[in-house]
Amino acid sequence: MDSSTHKVYHVDKMHSRNHLDLYFSAKEDMDFGDDSLKFPMANLHYCLISDHIRGDLAIDASLGSFIHHLCSVSKFFKEIAVLKCNEHCIMEVSKWLHNHTGAFDWKHASSFIAGLEGKRDQHEDIEIRLKLSVKQVLKCDFEQEIIISPVVLPLVDCVVSCFLLDVISKNEEEYMKNMEKLIKLLKPGGHLLLLSYINQTYMTVGGIQFHVLKYDESFVKNTLNKLGLVIDYYAWQKRRNVNDLTNYTAVMFTAAHKGE
């Protein structure tokens, strides 16, 4: 497959609602539930509890406009600032935050987290908790040295990033530069919680194929080590669906902390 024909996520403005419907919905024909929903939520939940990761402020810099991975984060951090590369994603997240008509329904995700927390009938409480935690939804630009400029935030206790660097980085060198910009937002001792797809080269949204940087698990680990992060936890799951919308072979979760 000729990757030169692929569109670029943050340049060609991927349709965020189509992305949610294809990869994150509760529809019966949505094939990616184990990989895109359950695996990220279960590992974030486990890591936050077992490693006692918590604090005042967390930043989320993730692909698209999904928010399910932040359900557990909202239990351990007083505030969350959500960063998005385009206005369409900001609008989609804001629609859900403010209970607007037509907002994406995340009941299936909040119900899963409620089960993990032993509160099976309290999914609405999980969503309310998350909505109260998200204090800002900001535009970010990885072309800038400080990606949230001109907004000024204090260094944060935690950065969560799901699949974003994969789609905005043309090559491994650019991935490392973009990762470094994320790490600059962390306090010394702060935590990075990272979701990655392994060996992916494209994803299809609205019939359009978008570029994804292909890498293996060793590349992720080596990148974090070179940037001074210590890996605390790592989980890997072989792809559990058959679907030609995308071509990753596994999904990976990595937790690391920044040196003091």
10-residue block means of pLDDT along the chain (260 residues)? 72 91 94 96 94 93 97 96 95 96 96 92 94 97 95 96 97 98 96 98 96 97 97 96 96 94
In this prediction, residue 1 carries a pLDDT of 44
211-224 residue pLDDT tens: 999 999 999 999 99
Going by the DSSP 8-state scheme, the letter that residue 103 receives in this structure is: -
In this prediction, residue 4 carries a pLDDT of 57
Instruction: Note if the pTM is more than 0.75.
Output: yes
Residues contacting residue 189 through CB under 8 Å, at least 6 positions apart: 257, 258, 259, 260
55-101 residue pLDDT tens: 999 999 999 999 999 999 999 999 999 999 999 999 999 999 999 99
CATH, residue 100? 3.40.50.150
Residue 92: domain span: 3-258
Q: Sort strands 134-139 and 156-162 into parallel, antiparallel or unpaired.
A: unpaired
In this prediction, residue 3 carries a pLDDT of 52
Q: How many domains does the chain have?
A: 1
Dihedrals phi, psi of 155, to nearest 5 degrees:
-60, 140
Q: Sort strands 77-84 and 229-238 into parallel, antiparallel or unpaired.
A: unpaired
* Tokens (6 digits) for 138: 């900001």
In this prediction, residue 240 carries a pLDDT of 95
Q: For residue 90, give the nearest of 64, 57, 70 by alpha carbon.
A: 64
